[in-house]
């Protein structure tokens, strides 16, 4: 049996080789690898799955290439509003934040909600108060801003103004996440996002909704999703994977593939998930062109992937 395993994602969508330069490919692989390194360091010394997913997601939030923390996308009115959630598969404790701006690492604010309050989800000024009380670092707008995300907002707004229907939500999304199984057999999941480019102010996606974009339960699996959030919410994507394992006896791979390919794909739910079960098996299905993703187990073989052709499972 696997001692520990870790998987990360940096979002799924219209990710085509013809649109990425070799230099950018290298940077994406390095960003994923940094997250795997951060989580692996925790797990290899016997640390918890919860600490591993927190560390991995922080690394992805700090990397401006990914749509979370630094480099988050912009709302239709040019703001950044971030969602994040974390869940502990042992206790089913969970913490989440919606629509926040300021903390450098939204996932650590979600963790503070879990660790320091009686609630699962906080929004608005009091979510920020929890981050302040936990002494978490904040940053100014310049830290989070990237030209690429700003340009993506302008082109999306132009399409709207021209009356061009954006028929491919896969073009607009991105998110980061991690799932882990530790040496004690516990699983955990964490997900963080800026949401979808040009989303309405106040819109909250699937990421911070337990059972939609994030879920963990030692009896079944831990899941972190990325994709067209509204559909993931309506199909309770992450919880449905766990339910298929619990009630129908399906394997992690079969359950996750069914939800991604048969529930989400035909219903405008482009995207994918990463998931790990209590035995440490990992699956990373997606139904669009690519998903930034990677995995490592105790054998120390770090693997990172971008495109569909590279799919390993
Ligand atoms: N699921 C995220 C959201 O809808 C976006 C993404 O994963 O790309 O906010």
Region 239-268 average pLDDT: 98
Q: Whose CA is nearest to atom 7 of ligand 1?
A: 226
Quick check: CB of 81 below 6 Å from ligand 1? no
By residue range, what is the domain housing residue 26?
Answer: 5-312
DSSP secondary structure letters along 102-137: SBS-HHHHHHHHHHHSS-SEEEHHHHHHHHHHTT--
Clarify whether 2 is annotated catalytic.
Answer: no
Quick check: CB of 229 below 6 Å from ligand 1? yes
Ligand 1 center to 23 CA (angstroms): 25
Q: What is the tally of helices (H) and strands (E) in the chain?
A: 9, 12
**pLDDT-based confidence at residue 313 (cuts at 50, 70, 90):** very low
Question: Which of 241, 233, 235, 140 minimizes the C-alpha distance to 195?
Answer: 233
Cα distance between residue 263 and residue 260, in whole Å: 6
- Give the model confidence (pLDDT) of 100-129 as tens digits: 999 999 999 999 999 999 999 999 999 999
Cα distance between residue 282 and residue 68, in whole Å: 23
| Beta-bridge partner residues of 271 | 227
Region 242-267 average pLDDT: 98
Model pTM?
0.96
Q: Count structural domains, the chain.
A: 1
Whether the predicted pLDDT of 311 surpasses 80: no
Q: Whose CA is nearest to atom 9 of ligand 1?
A: 195
Pocket test for ligand 1, best of 166, 223, 228, 238 (most atoms within 8 A of CB): 228
CATH code for position 226? 3.60.20.30
What pLDDT sits at residue 62? 98
Cα distance between residue 278 and residue 216, in whole Å: 10
Do 57 and 177 touch, CB atoms closer than 8 A? yes
Q: What is the DSSP letter of 199?
A: P
Whether the predicted pLDDT of 159 surpasses 60: yes
Quick check: CB of 5 below 6 Å from ligand 1? no
Cα distance between residue 218 and residue 32, in whole Å: 25
Quick check: CB of 99 below 6 Å from ligand 1? no
């Amino acid at each position: 049996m696997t001692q520990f395993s870790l998987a990360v994602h940096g979002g799924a969508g219209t990710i085509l080789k013809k649109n990425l330069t070799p230099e950018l490919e290298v940077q994406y692989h390095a960003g994923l690898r940094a997250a795997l390194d951060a989580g692996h360091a925790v797990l290899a010394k016997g640390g918890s799955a919860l600490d591993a997913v927190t560390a991995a997601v922080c690394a992805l939030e700090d990397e401006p290439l990914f749509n979370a923390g630094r480099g988050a996308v912009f709302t239709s009115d040019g703001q950044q509003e971030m969602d994040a959630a974390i869940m502990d598969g042992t206790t089913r404790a969970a913490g989440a934040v919606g629509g926040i701006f300021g903390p450098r690492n939204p996932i650590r604010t979600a963790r503070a909600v879990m660790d320091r309050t009686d609630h699962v989800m906080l929004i608005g000024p009091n979510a920020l108060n929890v981050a302040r009380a936990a002494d978490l670092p904040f940053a100014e707008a310049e830290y989070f801003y990237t030209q690429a995300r700003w340009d993506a907002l302008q082109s999306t707004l132009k399409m709207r103004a021209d009356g061009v229907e954006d028929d491919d939500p896969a073009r607009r999304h991105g998110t980061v996440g991690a799932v882990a199984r530790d040496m004690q057999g516990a699983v955990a999941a964490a997900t963080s996002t800026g949401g979808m480019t040009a989303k309405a102010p106040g819109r909250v996606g699937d990421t911070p909704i337990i059972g939609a974009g994030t879920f963990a339960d030692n009896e079944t699996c831990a899941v972190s999703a990325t994709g067209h959030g509204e559909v993931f919410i309506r199909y309770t994507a992450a919880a449905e994977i766990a339910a298929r394992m619990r009630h129908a006896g399906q394997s992690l791979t079969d359950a996750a593939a069914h939800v991604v390919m048969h529930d989400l794909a035909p219903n405008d739910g482009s995207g994918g998930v990463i998931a790990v079960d209590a035995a440490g098996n990992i699956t990373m299905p997606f139904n669009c062109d690519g998903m930034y993703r990677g995995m490592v187990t105790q054998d120390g073989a770090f693997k990172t992937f971008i495109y569909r052709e590279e799919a390993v499972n």
